[in-house]
Amino acid sequence: MTATILQGKEVAKSIREELAIEVAELKKQGIVPGLTVVLVGDDPASHSYVRGKSKGCEEVGIHSELILKEASTTEEELLAIIHELNENPNVHGILVQLPLPAHISEKAVIAAIHPEKDVDGFHPISVGNMVLGNETMLPCTPHGVIELIKRTGTDIAGKHAVVIGRSNIVGKPVSLLLQQENATVTMCHSRTQNLEEHTRRADILVVATGRAHMIGKEHVKPGAVVIDVGVNRIETGKLVGDVKFDEVKEVASFLTPVPGGVGPMTITMLLKNTVVAARKQAQL
């Protein structure tokens, strides 16, 4: 068996085309979805991510603004900016790019964003609603993972899913979303013993550890859907995932590449959340 490669950029392109049509319809009703990104400091990776978000907004017709602040910006100054954005009716989505400088509390900043404008899906109210299964803003990467699995034609209901990694950003939320799709979910992490015994039973394997090439073909059940969320830069400068791609593609039925797999879906789900937020705030 050779896996079908799940090109996230192709799925993302299809979703963005659908969003562009939706945004055009909203504009006919006088509603221009707006996203404001706040970037504090000069982290090169953060600047790269922000450029991708701005390009995505332009592609689907979302109005985007970028607020750049120096690393010396105080927490009080940043919270004041968020308050202004919360009150601005033309701003439907607010995203504060992480990580923040060490002197600023990420928890305080995330909590300050109005839940209706929390297009990252990180606010405690958004997370609580997700846990309860209520309609809410879903975190972008986990949402993108679920969309990718669905686009394979896989019926998630009744499948055994194994998630490796328990971060608040990916591992925990993706396990919850899989449960809401009626999968039976096993969560593994750095202290899981006999990891291979768990992963070999997975119909769906989601790997989000941030450890390059930790999952080989011996970990994968033949025919499994494998989603590699990891992005790691190795000594040669090449970007690789948590999965040994060349090995696992000979065993899995579907496999995401790195780069080009989950990454494009993350920004696309951010765009989708912004459009959803605009609709809700316009009470449509």
CA distance 97 to 152: 31
Of the candidates 120, 203, 228, 242, the residue annotated as catalytic is: 120
In the numeric block, the tokens 């982290």 are attached to 43
Instruction: For the chain, give percent helix, strand, coil, nearest 5.
Output: 45, 15, 40
The C-alpha angle 107, 80, 66, rounded to 5 degrees, equals 85
Catalytic residue among 53, 117, 159, 221: 53
Q: Is 172 a catalytic residue?
A: no
Residues in the annotated binding site = 165-167, 231
Indicate if 120 belongs to the active site. Answer: yes
246 is catalytic: no
Backbone angles phi, psi at 226, to 5 degrees: -120, 120
Strands 204-207, 239-240: parallel, antiparallel or unpaired by DSSP? Answer: unpaired
Sequence-distant (6+) residues with CB within 8 A of 25 are none
The total of other beta-carbon atoms located within 10 Å of residue 66's CB is 15
Residue 97: closest CA among 266, 248, 244? 266
Q: Residue length, the chain?
A: 284
Place of tokens 């015994």: 197
Of 55, 51, 56, nearest in space to 68 by CA: 51
Annotated binding site for NADP(+): 165-167, 231
Residue closest to 161 by CA, chosen among 131, 187, 139, 192? 187
Catalytic residue among 97, 159, 172, 244: 97
**Host H or E run for residue 179:** helix 171-180
Sign of the C-alpha dihedral computed for residues 234, 173, 116 and 265 taken in this order: positive
Task: Supply the residues annotated as catalytic.
Answer: 53, 97, 120
